[in-house]
Every structure is written in structure tokens, then in C-alpha cells.
Amino acid sequence: MGKVEEDYIEMESEEDDEDEDEDEEEEEKWRKHYSSRHRILLVGEGDFSFSLSLATKFGSAQNMVATSLDNQDTVANKYSNGIKNVRELEARGCTVFFGVDATKMSDHFFLTTQRFHRIVYNFPHVGFRFRENSYCQIQLNKRLVKDFLKNAKVLLRKQDGEIHITHKEGDPYNKWDLVKKAHKIGLVLHETVPFCRDDYPGYNNKRAQGNFSDAPFRLGDCSTYKFRLGQSS
């Protein structure tokens, strides 16, 4: 075999190695319902541990935008690991925004330019202004869900987008009428699946209010509701 042929074979081998490296870099990774190839918006994050659970599995967070209603100082005061989690997310390429209201987010200067495969809001809640099972508290939470869905609909990819709401089951939570609210604004329920916190290693659900804001709340039976755009949308 001549020198030129040897060099050509060596070059081919190097190109094959580069192709294999690219394939490895582009390997799709999943954490339950969420893929490293999805463009994901996370809404209403507490200590950002759910976002970090996804990013840790994906190996990167460049496909993710994580948001909180709280400002950065409030996150630092509320949660022992909040800012640490944010810094880890940012180091992995996540875009993080504070002070994002889920009921107005379609007007956000950055989000309004984006469209997402998945928009995720875990355990939406306005905070305890009245007793949990009181009419006034239920109405406030229903309005939160409705306004979130309206805004999320604007930011959703039309062909393959889904809005996910994880929600506690039973009374009074079934009075929030998630499916009915979604249907009225042109969304359809694609699937309802049980939610298990163990599916998201590192995720810590937080009370987010009062002297025990960093403490977990009891989950009980929970489900993730997946909504898609209706055919007429």
C-alpha cells in the first residue's frame, strides 16, 4: 500500500471518529416526559430544583428557559439552595429569568420571541390568602390557571407543543376545573399521567411562603395534565 493510500485511509478514519463524536453529542436524552431536544419553558420555579433535575439528566440546559415570579433576592432568602441551583443551571447554558408573572409572560421581552415544545408549571398556586377549600381561594387559583394557559398558548409550538400542569388530586383541587378552563381557550387534554417526585432526582417541592418557605408540602396523589392546541387554534 502506498503512502498516499495510507494517508487517505487515516483521514477517512479521523472523519468517521468525528462523525461518531457528533452523534454522541446529539444523542437524545429523556427525563420522563422531557427530552434534551425539546425547547422547554419552566414557569413558577421555586428553588429551581426541577429545572436542575432535567438539566442534570440532559447534560446541558441550553434547550431550557427557567423562570420564577420571585426576584433574585427573594429566591436567596426563601430557599437554602435556590441561588446555588440557578448558578448550576446557568453554567449548563440555561436562560434564567426572575420576576416573570405566569399570567403575563407572553408579553415578556424575551419570551414573546420564543416558541416552546413544552411549557411546564408544577403546582400552580396563588398563595394562601384564604382557607384552601374556601370559595375565594378556589376562584383565585382558577383565575391563575386560566391566565397562565392563555399566555402559554401564545408561546407554544403549533405542531408538537404541549403545556404541562402538575396538580394535586382530590378536594378541593378538582374544583379548579383545569380541563374545562383549557377547553374554553382552545386547548385539548392529550393525556393525564400520575406524577411521582422520584422520577425527578433532586427535585424538591417547596411551600414557598411564610416561615417554612423552604420546607416541602405534602404531595399526596398528583397528576400531570398535558394539553395541546385544539384543531381550530
Domain 37-229, CATH number (from 3.40.50.150, 3.30.1490.100, 2.20.25.240, 3.40.50.300): 3.40.50.150
Count helices and strands in the chain by DSSP H and E runs: 6, 9
Residue 19 CB contacts under 8 Å (≥ 6 apart), including other chains? none
pLDDT digits (tens, 9 = 90+) for 151-188: 999 999 998 999 999 999 999 999 999 999 999 999 99
Instruction: Specify burial of residue 39 (Cβ count, 10 A radius: 0-12, 13-18, 19+).
Output: middle
- How many other C-beta atoms are found inside a 10 Å radius of the C-beta of residue 62? 12
Return the percentage of the chain with pLDDT > 90, whole number.
78
The pLDDT tens digits along the chain (233 residues) read 555 455 544 545 555 555 555 445 579 999 999 999 999 999 999 999 999 999 999 999 999 999 999 999 999 999 999 999 999 999 999 999 999 999 999 999 999 999 999 999 999 998 888 898 999 999 999 999 999 999 999 999 998 999 999 999 999 999 999 999 999 999 999 999 999 999 999 999 988 887 788 888 888 999 999 999 998 66
